[in-house]
Amino acid sequence: MTLLKLAWRNLVGAGLRTWLNVLVLSMAFILMIWGKGVVDGMAYQLNDAMTNIEFGNGGQLWQSEYDPTDPLTIEDSYATIPEEVQGRVAAHTAAPILIRQATIYPGGRMQTILVKGINPEQKAMDLPTDQIKTGPTGLTPALIGQKMANKSGLKVGDLLTVRWRDANGTFDAREVEIVHIMNTIVQTVDRNQIWIPLKDLQEMSSLEGQATVIALDEPFEGSPKSPAWVYRDIDYLMKDINDMIKAKNFGGNVMYGILFGIALLAIFDTQVLAIFRRKKEMGTLMALGLTRAKVIGLFTIEGSMHGLIAFALGFILGSPLFYTMATKGYAIPGGMEDYGMALGNVIYGKYGPDLLIGTTTLMFLTVVLVSYLPTRKISKLTPTDALRGK
């Protein structure tokens, strides 16, 4: 207790130097948590959006020839829906999707798109497919995204001519009615594509009972019996996104380390300077009976107190920032959606207990270590040399 009181008096007596160190340490602490929380929030948003909206929580079954990065594979990528998922399809917890290439003519212009057929009652993907139930007009209903609508100049109620080629290579055309425009942050279910009922597209393409991919709400156990289908789990489907997140995390960790180093350097320099300037004080303490171990403990406690005060100040100053980022987020500048990341217009930070407690614990332990290292020189001092300032 005596050492704590003495350490506190020394900190208060140092005046401006103490508060400058505390301010530097607290600002580094705030920026470290803020930056890591933003990266974690981006990762959470991307995973949540892509899983719920595009892939389904259980991954997907793909027709073995299907490659979403190669448009030339789409025309031949279809197969009979496997028996193993027929029950899920009937319960609407699996969503067969048939994908075909087509051409539309909005405003007299020609535009190549993908037509995707999906069951309006499906529950595997978070899409408003219930909007494409055939209405009183009898026309094939179509669902499009906001970006598709903006690019094509389409609006609800418009009739759109769609031309496609069926499984036999015969070209045909039909008018569809735009019944709903969805506002989604996942561009891969929006751009250059329209969604229509699965049965309509199967009938139009002469591909009854066929599908290209099947979105699942729960993982598929084992492997499909038919060689025409392969199972792609969430890890496979999210690989590109996860690789990008790892790259972002690496860059964030570099900045994390730089801020960490700046903060610790301030404590280290303060300790070195204190030992250099306060040798007579150390000699006096030793002459009065304070052991070398207790003198080392005194200086270590002083350095550690910098950390404790800085953490308290950091939480006081940083809490409004963390709360704002977690609830209101940061608005992304216009045009960022063109990069294709499913982040929407706002990035929200994610500041969980693991981030706050982990960062605080790591930083405090390191501050204690950095406070202790310079004090090892005290063990070599003798009271007489210290009193003479040597």
Highest mean pLDDT among 243-257, 298-312, 326-340: 298-312
Residue 245 confidence class, pLDDT cut points 50, 70, 90: confident
> Is 57 inside a domain boundary?
no
Mean pLDDT is lowest, of 86-100, 207-221, 241-255, for 241-255
Number of domains in the chain: 2
**Beta pairing class for 171-182 and 159-165:** antiparallel
What is the C-alpha to C-alpha distance for residues 216 and 93, in angstroms, rounded to an integer? 7
- Read off the pLDDT of residues 106-116 as tens digits, 9 standing for 90 and up: 877 889 999 99
Query: Would residue 307 count as lying in a domain?
Result: yes
Q: The tokens of 53 are what?
A: 């909206």
Q: How confident is the model at residue 373 (pLDDT cuts 50, 70, 90)?
A: confident
Residues 156 and 176 in one domain: yes
Give percent above pLDDT 90 in the chain.
27
**Do 249 and 353 fall within a single domain?**
yes
Do the domain assignments include residue 301?
yes
What span, in angstroms and rounded, lies between the C-alpha atoms of 61 and 97?
10
In a domain, 58, yes or no: no
Q: What is the CA radius of gyration of the chain?
A: 32
Residues 29 and 72 placed together within one structural domain of the fold: no
The model's confidence at residue 231, banded by pLDDT at 50, 70 and 90, is very high
Asked, for residue 60, whether it belongs to a domain, the answer is: no
209 and 256 fall within a common domain: no
pLDDT value, residue 390: 54
Domain identity same for 226 and 255: no
Residue 353: its pLDDT value, please? Answer: 85
Give the tens place of pLDDT for each residue, 57-99: 899 999 999 998 888 888 889 999 999 999 999 999 999 999 9
Domain boundary among 190, 213, 232: 232
- Tell me: do 71 and 218 sit in the same domain: yes
Residue 254 lies in a domain: yes
Does residue 387 have a pLDDT over 80? no
Parallel, antiparallel or unpaired: strands 330-331 and 140-145: unpaired
- Pick the residue with more confidence: 28 or 132? 132
Kindly report the average pLDDT of the chain as a whole number. Answer: 82
Say if residue 190 is in the same domain as residue 251: no
Tell me the pLDDT tens digit for each residue of 263-309.
777 677 766 766 666 666 676 777 777 777 777 777 788 778 877 88
Ranked by mean pLDDT, the top range of 134-138, 252-256, 305-309, 313-317 is: 313-317
Phi, psi of 117 (to 5 degrees): -95, 130
Structural domain range at position 341: 2-52+240-387
- The domain boundary, picked from 232, 254, 281, lies at 232
Statement: residue 383 has pLDDT above 80: no
Residue 59 lies in a domain: no
* Cα gap 252→239, rounded to integer Å: 20
Q: Are residues 47 and 72 in the same domain?
A: no
Say if residue 238's pLDDT is above 80: yes
Higher pLDDT, 212 or 277: 212
Q: For residues 44 and 8, which has the higher predicted lDDT (pLDDT)? A: 44
State the average pLDDT over residues 356-380. Answer: 77
Same domain for 263 and 365, yes or no, is yes
Q: Is the predicted pLDDT of residue 341 greater than 70, yes or no?
A: no
Tell me: pLDDT of 233 over 60: yes
Say yes or no: 244 and 115 in one domain.
no
pLDDT value, residue 342:
56
Provide the pLDDT confidence category of residue 120 given band limits of 50, 70 and 90.
Answer: very high
Q: What is the pLDDT of residue 211?
A: 95
pLDDT computed for residue 17 by the predictor: 73
Residues facing residue 161 across a β-bridge: 175
| Average pLDDT, integer, range 355-382 | 76
Q: Examine the fold and report which residue of 232, 258, 285 is the final residue of a domain before the chain moves on.
A: 232
Check whether residue 358 and residue 270 sit in a common domain.
Answer: yes
Stretch 181-195: mean pLDDT, rounded? Answer: 87
Give tens-digit pLDDT for 146-180: 889 988 889 998 999 999 888 888 888 999 999 99
379 pLDDT tier (thresholds 50, 70, 90)? low
- What is the spatial distance between Cα 227 and Cα 216, in angstroms, rounded to a whole number? 18
Q: Are 293 and 353 contained in the same domain?
A: yes
The predicted structure's pLDDT at residue 306: 77
pTM over 0.75: no
Does residue 75 form part of some domain?
yes
Higher pLDDT, 48 or 276: 48
